Amino acid sequence: MPHFTIEYSANLDRKVDIGALCRRVLREILATGLFEVGAVRVRAIRCEHYAIADDLAENAFIDMSLRIGTGRSVDERKRAGEAIFAAVTDELRALFEAPHVALSLEVREIDPALSWRKNAMHPRLRGNGPGHPIADNR
């Protein structure tokens, strides 16, 4: 389970293709090899109201959070964070030509004792769900 959330200031709507950014993050998360396809969620939340730094209208932010289940080493989490941050930085390189953007990423582990989930996609993507030949021949 990686859940990746992108919060961004609304003034980036005309400057960033947020849908493309979400898909790029999805590809980078999967490329780490640390997560199952059916577990990945990438979403963006547009922040209409915000105040940033010296309150110039040009100031913008993208704050990213990667929440993951336990079981990965610090090195694996760091490697994933670095790869995703590098990909997003590359995707947004034109924004950094002006001194008005703040980009951040935090990786957090989810406490399994305080997390509940049900995912109907896993059996399908693992090839053993209803309607899949492997499951129907058991």
Q: Which residues are catalytic?
A: 2
- 93's CB contacts (< 8 A; 6+ apart) are none
Enumerate residues 6+ apart whose C-beta is below 8 A from 95: 12, 15, 16, 60, 101
DSSP H or E run through 123:
helix 121-126
- Between CA 40 and CA 75 the distance in angstroms is 20
